Amino acid sequence: MVISHGRFWRDQSGASMVEAAIAMPMLLTLLLGFVDFGYAFYQWNAGNKAVQAGARLAQISTPVAIGLPSETITQSDVTKVGTAVPAGTYDYVCTASAAGVACCSVGGGLCKPANASQASFDAIYDGTPNRAGMHTFLPMLVKSEVQIEYAASGLGYWTRPGGPVPTITVSIQNHPFQFFFLAGFLGFGTITMPSMLSTATGEDMKSTFP
């Protein structure tokens, strides 16, 4: 049987299968991309909830920075007693090592475990019997990604009985996100999510956890 060239080019048999074979990988990649980016958005939202919870816990519980409660309590210059504490008077930045050991730097100095309360850091990370911690909201969070800063921003006054009134900033730094489907299809690697942070004004210094 001889088929003319014109009839061969007009023949539509199997065209749908060819079209499906071409379109299916693109549609599948698009669908799985939505899943991956949806999960990334979920982690971003969970991270923001985690820093909000961490800031609230840091606000109402024992400070991680051991030296913070004594800041502004004493003042040798009696003319300053009761006057506002200038911004920048103190600045404590507390983080943790890869092993989860907490440390705090004072005024930009070295981060030292001796300056930090491990129990306070763990309470913010893990939570307390009455409050969920950062790890509860973002299970993939590790301690070394958490940063807690207590800084003077012009609030409070010298020799205030309740202690200093710091501005507390809790942030998540360098949190990785690993693509699952797109890593296999398109070779997407691990990305570092943008920093997430939440700021709160400190309340009276506590000696217990809520």
pLDDT in tens, 47-87: 999 999 999 999 999 999 999 999 998 888 888 898 999 99
* pLDDT at residue 92 is higher than 60: yes
* pLDDT at residue 25 is higher than 80: no
| Mean of pLDDT values over 138-149 | 96
Residue 128 lies in a domain: yes
Residue 120 lies in a domain: yes
How many structural domains does the chain have? 1
pLDDT at 109: 93
Residue 107 lies in a domain: yes
pLDDT at 20: 67
Residue 206 lies in a domain: no
Crossing angle (nearest 10°) for helices 15-60 and 118-126: 140
Residue 38 lies in a domain: yes
Spatial neighbors of 9 by CB under 8 A, at least 6 apart, are none
Closest CA to 72 of 202, 210, 169, 209: 202
Residue 66 lies in a domain: yes
Of 43-52, 119-128, 201-210, the poorest mean pLDDT is in: 201-210
Residue 4 lies in a domain: no
Domain housing 45: 15-201
pLDDT at 209: 72
Residue 8 lies in a domain: no
Residue with more model confidence, 194 or 15: 194
